[in-house]
Amino acid sequence: MMQALSKPSEGASGLTGMWRIKRPLLDPEKCNACMLCWLYCPEGTIARRRGGKPSIVYEYCKGCGICSEVCPSKAIRMLRRERGAPDR
């Protein structure tokens, strides 16, 4: 019999990183670990490493650029994604 309920899963709508036009690049040198990028990421694709700095999960990052905008130390740059370039 078919199950009635959908089950929690990453990528419920696929590898949404494929949607990305621009790619966020975090410069760990500039990052002060304030975690605002983690707070504001709509997708939850920025991992909060214990005691350390944030890291971006590219499989699902849609490249909206909010992290780059809210970063007070300008540590995240948005790079135009190169066609066909490895991106995950």
Partner 1 sequence: MLLTGNHAVAYGVRDAAAEVIAAYPITPQTQIVEKLAEFVEKGQMRARYVRVESEHSAMAACIAAEACGARSFTATSSQGLLYMSEVVFWAGLGRFPVTMAVVTRTLAPPWSIWNEHMDILSQRDAGWVIMMCENAQEAYDTAIQAFRIAEDERLLQPVMYGLDAFTISHTAEEVDLLEKGDVEGYLPPLDPKKLRVYMDPESPGTFGNLVGPDMMMEMRHSIKEAFERAREVIKGAVKGYERISGRRQAGLIEEYKCRDAEVVIVTMGASSGDAKDAIDALRERGVRAGLVRLRVIRPLPREEILEAVKGAKVVATVDRDYSFGYGGILGGELAGFVKNTMCRFVAGLGGRDLTPEDFQGIALKALDVAEKGEEREEFWWGLKR
Partner 2 sequence: MTAMFSIKDLVEEEYTLPGNASCPGCAAALSLRIALKVLGPKTILVVPASCISVIQGYYPKTPCRVPVLNVAFASTAAVGSGMVAALDLKGKSDVKVLCWAGDGGTADIGLQALSGAAERNENMIYVCYDNEAYMNTGTQRSGSTPRTAATTTTVTGKPERKKSVPEIMVAHMVPYVATACAAFPLDFAGKLRRAASMPLRGLKYIHLLSPCPPGWRFPAEKTIEVGRLAVMTGFWILYEWVDGRYNLTGPSKGLLDKSKRRPLRDYLSIQGRFGHLTEKDIESLEEEVEEQWKDFARKMSMT
| Residues making contact with partner 1 (CB under 8 A) | 1-2, 4-8
**Cα-flanking dihedrals φ and ψ of residue 25, to 5°?**
-125, 120
Q: Given candidates 25, 32, 39, 52, which one binds partner 2 under the rule CB under 8 A?
A: 39
CA atoms of 62 and 38, how far apart (whole Å): 14
The answer to whether 60 contacts partner 2 (rule: CB under 8 A) is yes
The DSSP call for residue 44 is -
Report which of 82, 77, 87, 86 is spatially closest to residue 25, judged by C-alpha positions: 77
The answer to whether 35 contacts partner 2 (rule: CB under 8 A) is yes
Residues that bind partner 2 (CB under 8 A): 3, 6-16, 19, 34-36, 39-45, 48, 57, 59-66, 68-70, 78
